[in-house]
C-alpha cells in the first residue's frame, strides 16, 4: 500500500479543509491517489471536491414585505393573553393592558419592527434542552487569556497569513468572556475539544499552501491529557464552574471516529514511522538539523511535498497507534473498508470501534511519559475511548457532548458513550451538589452530515437527544432574512415536527465552521441586511446554535485553498464598540427573550394575525406573542 497511503497520513485534505464532508470509498480513493502521487511529488496537487448533501430550495421568489412607518401597532392577542392582563414589550420595555383582546404599542426604533410580548409578571421559565440556545466557540480563535501557552509543544506561527496555525485563544480567555456569552441569552456553550491534539502540522488545503495545526480539536493524540495551548486542567475546571455559575451548561466537542494525522514532529518526538533515507541522514534529507517540524518546502513546492520522504512500508509504523487500534493502509495495518463505519474519512486513520478484541494501549504511548492512560485488561478500542471521554464528564461536570462524524461510527458505540456519560454526570452531580445546576441527565447532539428535521435511528438506537439540522441555513434562512413574515411556514413546520415529540429535537444553525458564515455568504457582508435574520433564527422552535461572532457579524477570514478556514476567523472584539454595537444589542435582546420563555423553543406555534404578522407560542403556563409590524421605512 506504500504509494496509495501518502495522503492517508499526511495530506491535509480533511473535510474541514475541503468541501468533502460526505464519504467516498477507499477503493476509489486508492486509485485516485495513485494518479495523484506524481502531482504530490511536484507540489501540484488538485482534486475534485463536492459539497454537503443537503436539499436546496434554490432561488426563492419573495412576496413584497410590509413596511412600517414607525407608528403604533395594534394586534389581537386574545389567543395568548386575557383582558385586564398587564403586558410588556420585552424589547422596548413598554407596558400596556389588554383591552377587548387587543394591545397597541410602538415597536422600538432599532427592533426591526418587532414586538416581543410577555406578561409583566412572567418569570424566566427555566432551562430545557428543548429550548437551548447553544453558543459554539472555537476556543483558539476567541480570546487569548494567557499568551504564555501560545506556542506549546513547539508550535509556531507561520509569519504569513496564519490560516491554519494556533492563534492563542484559550480557556482563560474563554472564561474572561463568559459575561459576553451570557448576555446573548446563552444557556449552553459548545467548546472545541480541549484534550491533547497532534503537536505538528499537516499541509493545509487542496494545494498544501499553508501549515495546518489541530487548533480546532479534531486531530486527537491523547484523550487523557489537556492540550497545553488550551491551558491547564485547573483552567478547564475554572471555566466549567464559571459557566455553571452563570446558568450556562458546557457541551464538549468530541471525536470517536478517528485520531489525528501523523506529522513530522510527532514521528520524531514519539519515535514512530521512518524516512526513506536512513535515520542517520534524516536531517540531511529534510534539510533541518534538529527539529523535523521546521522543514519548509523547496522553492516551487508546497507543504504536501515532504510526503516523498516517508517510507510507508517500514515496520516502524507499528510504533504508532498500532494495528489493533486503527486502519491506515500502511505496513502492518488493515486497509480502510468501503462501509461508512470502516472507511478512512478524508484520509484520516480510522479507529476500530467495532472490534471485540483486547487492544492494549496505543503503542506510541510507551514513548509519551505524560499520558494518563492506564492499561485495562480486556478493554477494546471502544471501551478505552468511551472511558477516556466520559472521564471528562466525571471529573469536571461537562453537561453534554457534541459528537463529530456520527455516521462513521456504529450506533452501539454511541449508545455506549451516552450511557457512560449519563452515569458520569450523575456521579459528578452527586459529588458536587453545590455546583450542579439541576438533575437533568447527560445530553448529546450529533453531526450527521445533511440531516434535517426528521427523526432517525440516531435517536432510538444511538441514544442521541438531538441532531444538528443542516437544512435551516440552506433552505429557510435567506427568505426569513428578506422578510420576517416569510418564516411562518418554517415556524409551523418545525413546531409541528419537533415539539410534537418529546423524544426528538434538532440543533439549527445559521453559520458553521464546516459550511459558511451567513453574514459573508448570504447577507453579502451588509450589516443592515444581516440584522434582519437574528429574530427569525433565534425564535425558531427547537434548539438553536449561535456560532461565535454571529452576534457581531464576524468577517470572513483568510482562507487559502480551503474555503472553510475563512469561517474560523478571530472574534471581532474591536468592532463591537462602534459599527457592530447596535447589531449586538439586537441579538442580546432577542436571545434574552428566548431564554426567558421555554415556549419559544418547545411550545406549540399558532399564527394569530396576518396584518400585522403575529404569532403565539404556548407551553404550559408560558405564553408569548411576537408581532412584526413590517420592515422600517
pLDDT band at 235 (very low <50, low <70, confident <90, very high): very high
In the predicted structure, residue 530 carries a pLDDT above the cut 60: yes
pLDDT score, position 534: 98
- Per the residue annotation, which of 447, 465, 475, 551 is the catalytic one? 447
CA dist 303 and 208 (Å) reads 5
Span 295-317, average pLDDT: 92
Residue 6: burial class (beta carbons within 10 Å; 0-12, 13-18, 19+): buried
- Per the residue annotation, which of 130, 196, 227, 404 is the catalytic one? 404
In the predicted structure, residue 160 carries a pLDDT above the cut 90: yes
CA dist 482 and 399 (Å) reads 36
CA dist 4 and 344 (Å) reads 12
Find the range with the poorest average confidence among 52-66, 161-175, 195-209, 217-231.
52-66
pLDDT band at 265 (very low <50, low <70, confident <90, very high): very high
In the predicted structure, residue 30 carries a pLDDT above the cut 80: no
96's grid cell: 400596556
List the Cα angle 35/41/43 in 5-degree steps: 100
CA dist 419 and 444 (Å) reads 11
In the predicted structure, residue 7 carries a pLDDT above the cut 90: no
Contact by Cβ (8 Å): 410, 260: no
437's grid cell: 445546576
pLDDT tens digits, one per residue of 110-135: 999 999 999 999 989 889 999 999 99
Task: Look up residue 408 and give its DSSP letter.
Answer: G
109's grid cell: 426604533
In the predicted structure, residue 152 carries a pLDDT above the cut 70: yes
Q: Where are the alpha helices (DSSP H) in 366-435?
A: 381-396, 411-431
pLDDT tens digits, one per residue of 474-516: 999 999 999 999 999 999 999 999 999 999 999 999 999 999 9
CA dist 342 and 350 (Å) reads 7
pLDDT score, position 577: 87
CA dist 406 and 414 (Å) reads 8
In the predicted structure, residue 31 carries a pLDDT above the cut 80: no
More confident residue, 338 or 63: 338
| Number of neighbours of residue 102 by Cβ within 10 angstroms | 14
Backbone angles phi, psi at 136, to 5 degrees: -95, 125
Contact by Cβ (8 Å): 40, 6: yes
232's grid cell: 491547564
Span 460-471, average pLDDT: 98
CA dist 298 and 498 (Å) reads 55
CA dist 246 and 135 (Å) reads 14
Task: Look up residue 164 and give its DSSP letter.
Answer: B
Q: Which whole-number Å values give the CA distances from 523 to 184, 323, 477, 520, in the listed order? A: 21, 48, 10, 6
Cross-strand pairs, 338: none
% of residues, the chain, pLDDT over 90: 84
List the Cα angle 369/374/377 in 5-degree steps: 140
pLDDT band at 22 (very low <50, low <70, confident <90, very high): very low
pLDDT band at 169 (very low <50, low <70, confident <90, very high): very high
Cross-strand pairs, 298: none
pLDDT score, position 282: 65
Span 398-422, average pLDDT: 98
Q: Is 404 a catalytic residue?
A: yes
pLDDT band at 15 (very low <50, low <70, confident <90, very high): very low
In the predicted structure, residue 56 carries a pLDDT above the cut 90: no
End-to-end CA distance of the chain: 66
Q: Residue 244 contacts by C-beta under 8 Å, 6 or more apart in sequence?
A: 250, 397, 435, 436, 437
CA dist 271 and 312 (Å) reads 14
CA dist 175 and 170 (Å) reads 9
DSSP 424-445: HHHHHHHH-TTT----PPPEEE
pLDDT score, position 276: 83
CA dist 188 and 32 (Å) reads 43
Preceding peptide of 612 cis, ω within 30°: yes
In the predicted structure, residue 611 carries a pLDDT above the cut 70: yes
Q: Which whole-number Å values give the CA distances from 387 to 321, 369, 391, 393, 517, in the listed order? A: 18, 20, 6, 10, 35
3-class secondary-structure state, position 299:
coil
3-class secondary-structure state, position 230:
coil
In the predicted structure, residue 59 carries a pLDDT above the cut 70: no
pLDDT tens digits, one per residue of 533-582: 999 999 999 999 999 999 999 999 999 999 999 999 999 999 998 889 99
In the predicted structure, residue 73 carries a pLDDT above the cut 80: yes
In the predicted structure, residue 11 carries a pLDDT above the cut 70: no
3-class secondary-structure state, position 350:
strand
pLDDT band at 281 (very low <50, low <70, confident <90, very high): low
3-class secondary-structure state, position 180:
helix
User: Which has the closest alpha carbon to 25: 405, 344, 335, 450?
Assistant: 344
Backbone angles phi, psi at 591, to 5 degrees: -65, -40
Q: Is 526 a catalytic residue?
A: no
Q: Residue 606 contacts by C-beta under 8 Å, 6 or more apart in sequence?
A: 79, 615, 616, 617, 618
pLDDT score, position 285: 65
Span 592-610, average pLDDT: 98
Q: Using the structure block, give the residue that is written with the C-alpha cell 409583566.
A: 120
Whether the CA torsion 392, 152, 266, 33 is positive or negative: it is: positive
% of residues, the chain, pLDDT over 70: 88
Contact by Cβ (8 Å): 1, 335: yes
pLDDT tens digits, one per residue of 357-367: 999 999 999 99
419's grid cell: 450511557
Span 312-322, average pLDDT: 96
Find the range with the poorest average confidence among 11-15, 130-134, 322-326, 468-472.
11-15
CA dist 521 and 133 (Å) reads 23
* Mean of pLDDT over the chain: 90
DSSP 242-282: HHHHTT-EEEEEE--S--PPP-HHHHHHHT-S-BSS-GGGH
In the predicted structure, residue 151 carries a pLDDT above the cut 90: yes
Read off the pTM. 0.91
570's grid cell: 478571530
Q: Residue 95 contacts by C-beta under 8 Å, 6 or more apart in sequence?
A: 86, 87, 88, 89, 120
In the predicted structure, residue 210 carries a pLDDT above the cut 50: yes
Span 145-160, average pLDDT: 97
In the predicted structure, residue 368 carries a pLDDT above the cut 60: yes
181's grid cell: 456569552
CA dist 227 and 214 (Å) reads 10
DSSP 570-603: PP-GGGTTTTTHHHHHHHHHHHHHHHH-HHHHHS
List the Cα angle 559/562/564 in 5-degree steps: 75
Span 424-432, average pLDDT: 98
Q: Which whole-number Å values give the CA distances from 196 to 221, 250, 304, 409, 471, in the listed order? A: 6, 19, 24, 21, 32
Contact by Cβ (8 Å): 85, 70: no
pLDDT band at 5 (very low <50, low <70, confident <90, very high): very low
Q: Using the structure block, give the residue that is written with the C-alpha cell 459529588.
A: 431
Amino acid at each position: 500500500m506504500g504509494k496509495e497511503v501518502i495522503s492517508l497520513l499526511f495530506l491535509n485534505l480533511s473535510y474541514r479543509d475541503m468541501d468533502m464532508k460526505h464519504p467516498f470509498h477507499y477503493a476509489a480513493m486508492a486509485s485516485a491517489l495513485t494518479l495523484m502521487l506524481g502531482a504530490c511529488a511536484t507540489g501540484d496537487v488538485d482534486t475534485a471536491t463536492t459539497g454537503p448533501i443537503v436539499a436546496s430550495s434554490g432561488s426563492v421568489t419573495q412576496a413584497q414585505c410590509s413596511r412600517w412607518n414607525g407608528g403604533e401597532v395594534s394586534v389581537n392577542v386574545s389567543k395568548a393573553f386575557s383582558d385586564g392582563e398587564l403586558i410588556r414589550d420585552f424589547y422596548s420595555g413598554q407596558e400596556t393592558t389588554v383591552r377587548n383582546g387587543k394591545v397597541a404599542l410602538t415597536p422600538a426604533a432599532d427592533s426591526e419592527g418587532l414586538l416581543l410580548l410577555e406578561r409583566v409578571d412572567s418569570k424566566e421559565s427555566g432551562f430545557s434542552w428543548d429550548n437551548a440556545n447553544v453558543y459554539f466557540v472555537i476556543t483558539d480563535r476567541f480570546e487569548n487569556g494567557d499568551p504564555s501557552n501560545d506556542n506549546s509543544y513547539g508550535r509556531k506561527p507561520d509569519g504569513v497569513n496564519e490560516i491554519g496555525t494556533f492563534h492563542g485563544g484559550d480557556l482563560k480567555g474563554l472564561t474572561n468572556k463568559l459575561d459576553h456569552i451570557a448576555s446573548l441569552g446563552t444557556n449552553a456553550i459548545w467548546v472545541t475539544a480541549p484534550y491533547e491534539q497532534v503537536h505538528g502540522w499537516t499541509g493545509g488545503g487542496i494545494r498544501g499552501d499553508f501549515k495546518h495545526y489541530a487548533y480546532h480539536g479534531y486531530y486527537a493524540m491523547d484523550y487523557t491529557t489537556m492540550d497545553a495551548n488550551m491551558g491547564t486542567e485547573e483552567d478547564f475546571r475554572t471555566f466549567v464552574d464559571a459557566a455553571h455559575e452563570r446558568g450556562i451548561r458546557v457541551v464538549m466537542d468530541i471525536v470517536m471516529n478517528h485520531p489525528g494525522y501523523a506529522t513530522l514532529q510527532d514521528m520524531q518526538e514519539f519515535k514512530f514511522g521512518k524516512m526513506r533515507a536512513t535515520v542517520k541522514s534524516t536531517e540531511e534529507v529534510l534539510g533541518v538539523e534538529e527539529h523535523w517540524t521546521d522543514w519548509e518546502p523547496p522553492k516551487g513546492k508546497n507543504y504536501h511535498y515532504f510526503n516523498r520522504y516517508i517510507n510507508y512500508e517500514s515496520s516502524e509504523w507499528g510504533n504508532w497507534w498500532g494495528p489493533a487500534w486503527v486502519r491506515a493502509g500502511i505496513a502492518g495495518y488493515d486497509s480502510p473498508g468501503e462501509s461508512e463505519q470502516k472507511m478512512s474519512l478524508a484520509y484520516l486513520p480510522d479507529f476500530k470501534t467495532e472490534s471485540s478484541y483486547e487492544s492494549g494501549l496505543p503503542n506510541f504511548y510507551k514513548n509519551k511519559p505524560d499520558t494518563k492512560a492506564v492499561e485495562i485488561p480486556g478493554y477494546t478500542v471502544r471501551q478505552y475511548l468511551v472511558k477516556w471521554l466520559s472521564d471528562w464528564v466525571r471529573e469536571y461536570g461537562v453537561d453534554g457532548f457534541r459528537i463529530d462524524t456520527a455516521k462513521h461510527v456504529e450506533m452501539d458505540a454511541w449508545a455506549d458513550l451516552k450511557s457512560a456519560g449519563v452515569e458520569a454526570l450523575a456521579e459528578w452531580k452527586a459529588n458536587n451538589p453545590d455546583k450542579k445546576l439541576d438533575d437533568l441527565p447527560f445530553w448529546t447532539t450529533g453531526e450527521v452530515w445533511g440531516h434535517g428535521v426528521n427523526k432517525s435511528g440516531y435517536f432510538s438506537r444511538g441514544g442521541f437527544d438531538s441532531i444538528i439540522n443542516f437544512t435551516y441555513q440552506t433552505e429557510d434562512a435567506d427568505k426569513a432574512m428578506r422578510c420576517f413574515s416569510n418564516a411562518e411556514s418554517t415556524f409551523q413546520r418545525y413546531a409541528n415536527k419537533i415539539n410534537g415529540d418529546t423524544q426528538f429535537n434538532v440543533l439549527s444553525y445559521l453559520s458553521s465552521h464546516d459550511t459558511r458564515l451567513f453574514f459573508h455568504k448570504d447577507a453579502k457582508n451588509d450589516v443592515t441586511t444581516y440584522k434582519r435574520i437574528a429574530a427569525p433564527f433565534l425564535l425558531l422552535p427547537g434548539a438553536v446554535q449561535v456560532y461565535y461572532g454571529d452576534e457581531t457579524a464576524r468577517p470572513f477570514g483568510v482562507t487559502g485553498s480551503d474555503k472553510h478556514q475563512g469561517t474560523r476567523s478571530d472574534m471581532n472584539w474591536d468592532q463591537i464598540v462602534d459599527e457592530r454595537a447596535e447589531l449586538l444589542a439586537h441579538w442580546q435582546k432577542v436571545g434574552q427573550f428566548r431564554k426567558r420563555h421555554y415556549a419559544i423553543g418547545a411550545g406549540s406555534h399558532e399564527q394569530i394575525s396576518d396584518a400585522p404578522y403575529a404569532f403565539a407560542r404556548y407551553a404550559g403556563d408560558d405564553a408569548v406573542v411576537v408581532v412584526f409590524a413590517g420592515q422600517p421605512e
